[in-house]
Structure 1
Amino acid sequence: MPTIAARSPRRPPAETRRLMLKCIGELLENKAPWEIRASHVAAAAGTTQPNFYSHFRNIEEAIMARAGQVWDLYPVAELAQLLERGLNSGDDEPLQHFFMLTVGFWCRHGGLLRAVSRLSGDENPAVRGLRHHAQYPLISLCEAAVGRAQATGNLPPSLHLSLAANAAMRFLDEAASHFQIMRDAGELSSETIAQTIVPMFRRLLSGQ
């Protein structure tokens, strides 16, 4: 449950907006997007429902605004270093770290990110834009790996580089987003999950 902020009539509008966006992310950890009302967000942020509508047209707009903030927190530089090391060697350890770092991101923000997908799916250009902008350096590295595998005959030349790279990243994101469910339902260790997912991810990109 989100922490209820104390109501303050003197709070700057920017701070009120920040609190409402923070609260909507917290609410989405336990509720589906269609279960959340403007009044819920306003109460959690210590403000009023009319004040919510002075910042956002509706709940969907607020969710998308928070999603933009969250994707800005995506640790792309560190992920890119790990991915490059892992793909340019036969060592799975960097890729396991890459996967677990992705897991951490999804564990912190999974409710929000899944809500965005539920609301609008990938048909929405805004959703595609947020993810693509955040993951572009990683997708580029994946494209290069697929290209190398095609050149050596390990992957079919008919594969579309961008499509294959995006599919591999989506596979990893899906595994990361369901990591807690897999671990808890199957009573699996984090190491077991990573050691299973990483070779599959590598094979998607290298054919080996």
Structure 2
Amino acid sequence: MRTVDGRVAGRRGQATRQKLLDCLSEMLSSSPYRDVKVIDVARKAGTSPATFYQYFPDVEGAVLELADQMTAEGAVLAELVKGRSWAGKAGWQSAQELVDGFLEFWRQNDAILRVIDLGAAEGDKRFNKIRTKILTAVNGSLAESISELQAKGRIDKDVNPAAIAGALVAMLAAVASHQKGFTAWGVKQAELKPNLALLVHLGVTGKKPTR
């Protein structure tokens, strides 16, 4: 791990760097991204702006580092699909666990995901690349599962696995990022999950689930 000027950071420096990232993450959960300043992050971490600039060029650079760390954690989403059965009751369980995984991942990383969505919406290719990377693995695993069902003759041969998988992943991401909004619409979390899982199961198998 190196500093901005290329020096190798020692154990103490790495700890300071991680503390700055942890403080930034905490601040993003309670303050708008544009309002977070270097001096505020440094003060919260008990250090100086000069120390912050040793490790990051600016707040945006630190946010991108947080995003990269979160992307690695996002690999767990693909594991929710890979090698799973979509037949019978096992298929219903697969759909439920995929939905649970998406909603939980977004809840745990809500602050940084909001910043990524904002940057991507503004056309920042760096943020768009990170968002795509988070979803690509699970999209690929889901498309593979649909292709396998298609090869076995369980779903229509005219179905495009990549298109179905992409639509389902986009839906899951959109719903996961809007969980609080459903409450305002009178939809409880306990009601959201099974209905979302139903849509996922229908999308993958073309059939109602066996419960």
What TM-score do the two structures reach when normalised by structure 2?
0.76
**In 1, Cα distance between the equivalents of 2:87 and 2:40?**
48
Q: Does 1:26 align with 2:12?
A: no
Deviation at 1:136, TM superposition (A): 4.2
User: Tell me, which stretches of 5 or more residues in structure 2 are unaligned?
Assistant: 1-10
Indicate how the Cα distance of structure 1 residues 58 and 88 shifts in structure 2: closer, same or farther if over 3 A, else same.
Answer: farther
User: Contact 2:143 / 2:165 at 8 angstroms: preserved in 1?
Assistant: yes
Distance 1:164 1:32, change over 3 A: farther
CA distance in 2, matches of 1:166, 1:128: 16
More displaced 10-residue stretch of structure 1: 20-29 or 124-133:
124-133
* Aligned-partner Cα distance in 2 for 1:54–1:141: 40
Partner residue, 1:13: 13
* Amino acid of the structure 1 residue aligned with 2:36: I
What percentage of aligned pairs have identical amino acids?
20
Task: Check conservation: 1:29, 1:110, Cα contact below 8 A.
Answer: yes
Between 72-81 and 189-198, the greater mean CA deviation after superposition: 72-81
TM-score (norm 1): 0.77
2:200 aligned partner: 201
Asked if residue 116 in structure 1 is aligned to residue 116 in structure 2, the reply is yes
Distance 1:199 1:122 in 2: 33
Question: Could you list the runs of 5+ residues in structure 1 that have no partner in the other structure?
Answer: 1-10
- 2-side partners of 1:122 and 1:149: how far apart? 38
- Residues of 2 paired with 1:157 and 1:124: CA distance? 36
Q: Answer whether contact 1:146 1:155 (CA < 8 A) is retained.
A: no
Partner in structure 2 of residue 69 of structure 1? 69
Counterpart of 2:116 in structure 1: which amino acid? V
Q: 1:167 is matched by which residue type in structure 2?
A: A
Q: Name whichever of 165-174 and 116-125 sits farther off.
A: 116-125
Deviations, residues 94-130 of structure 1 (Å, cap 9, x unaligned): 3222212221211111111111110234955543543
Contact conserved, 2:154 with 2:205, CA < 8 A, in 1? no
What is the rounded CA distance, in whole Å, between the counterparts of 1:101 and 1:114 in structure 2?
Answer: 18
User: Quick check: 2:81–2:94 contact (8 Å CA) kept in 1?
Assistant: no
Instruction: Tell me how many residue pairs correspond in the alignment.
Output: 195
- SS of residue paired to 2:80: helix
What is the RMSD of the two structures over their aligned residues, measured on CA atoms?
A: 3.0
For residues 46 and 16 of structure 1, the distance between their equivalents in structure 2, rounded to whole angstroms, comes to 10
Q: Counterparts in 2 of 1:68-87, with a 5 A limit?
A: 68-74=68-74, 75-76=76-77, 78-80=79-81, 84-85=84-85, 87=86
Cα distance in 1 for partners of 2:27, 2:197 equals: 32
Once the two structures are overlaid, the 10-residue window that deviates more, 17-26 or 147-156, is 147-156
